[in-house]
Structure formats: C-alpha cells, structure tokens
Amino acid sequence: MEEEKKKNARKKSSARAGEEKENPAAEAPEDNEPAHEPAPQDGGKSEEPAEKNDDDLKINKDDESTRKIIFALCYIFGILFFLPLILYKDAEARRHANEGLVLLLFAVVGNLIFGCLSVIGGVVGTVFAVLSAVYSVLLLLLGIIGIVFVATDRQDDLPLLGRIKIIK
C-alpha cells in the first residue's frame, strides 16, 4: 500500500512538472533576462503609494463633486442655503450660502410684493402679474448662473445680487 501511495505521489509530481513546462509563465528566466525586477525610477518609491495616490485622487474627485452638488443646491432650492455652512467651513462655502440666501430672500419678498399688487385687478393688476413673472424668470436665470459658476469653478459673484453680504 505504501508503494502505491509513493507511485501516486510520483505521478502527481511528474504531472505538475509537465504542466510547468507547458506553461511559459512558469519557466525560469533565461540567462539574458534579469532574475529580479528593476528598482523603481521614482526615487525608491514603490508602486503601492502610487496606487494609493490614484485612490486618493478618486476620493478627492468624489469629494469635489459632492461639494459642487451641495453648492448647486443653494441655488436650486434656496431654503437649502445653510447646507454648505453646516458641511464646510471655508470662504467658498460661505459665499455660496450667502448667494443662496440672498436669492431666497429676493424671491420671497419680491413675489410677495408683486403678488399683493397683482390682486388690485384690472390693467394695473395684469401689469404687476406680468412683472411678477418676469421677476421670477430673472431670479431663475440668476440661479442658473450660480449653478454654472459652481460647475465651472468660477469664483465670481452673482450679477446684481453678489455684492450683498448677509453671511460674513
């Protein structure tokens, strides 16, 4: 029985040796090929930190995308102006939050005034209703401009309303 086990072990080892010869990747390096990999040319740094840097760049890009989305929410939904103030404590976050708050206040106050004046009725009421619609479209355009500024990383203030500073 022990002889059969030894024969089976020999067959398995010879079969493995045959597979290694058929597999060119398993062959030993030839004389003209170096037996080890050359040292990295980046001052002794291995490839692992480079992979970590790639992962860090992905994380930073994701974080930057998240920042842009949160800043854009200030302009889309004015009531969310406080999100950058809670999540980020830098000057850019305060600027976008301020512009979102200013847009919100102008939208609420302006539409209240135009809405009350349009109730008058007649020609005057119609004029104020049209002015209310134009005013709302202008505020929408300012919000779109703010979103474009966020998406393109422009540091400019909003036209007309950007000079008003409520959050400092």
Q: What is the mean pLDDT of residues 105-129?
A: 88
Q: In this structure, how many other beta carbons lie within 10 angstroms of the beta carbon of residue 34?
A: 7
The DSSP element (H or E) to which 114 belongs, if any, is helix 91-118
Task: Say if residues 160 and 142 touch (Cβ distance below 8 Å).
Answer: yes
Tokens of 100: 């979102």
On average, the pLDDT of the chain sits at 76
Tokens of 82: 């406080």
Q: What is the mean pLDDT of residues 117-134?
A: 88
39-56 pLDDT, tens digit each: 555 554 444 454 556 656
Q: What is the mean pLDDT of residues 14-25?
A: 49
What is the model's pLDDT at position 78?
A: 79
Residue 10 has pLDDT above 80, yes or no: no
Distance CA 56, CA 34 (A): 33
Helix, strand, coil share (%) of the chain residues, nearest 5: 70, 0, 30
Choice between 66 and 41, residue whose per-residue pLDDT is larger: 66
Tokens of 116: 């009350």
pLDDT confidence of 120, banded at 50, 70, 90?
confident
Going from N- to C-terminal start, the domains of the chain cover 59-168
Residue 74 has pLDDT above 50, yes or no: yes
Q: What is the mean pLDDT of residues 50-63?
A: 61
Residue 136 has pLDDT above 70, yes or no: yes
* Nearest C-alpha neighbor of 146 from the set 78, 88, 83: 78
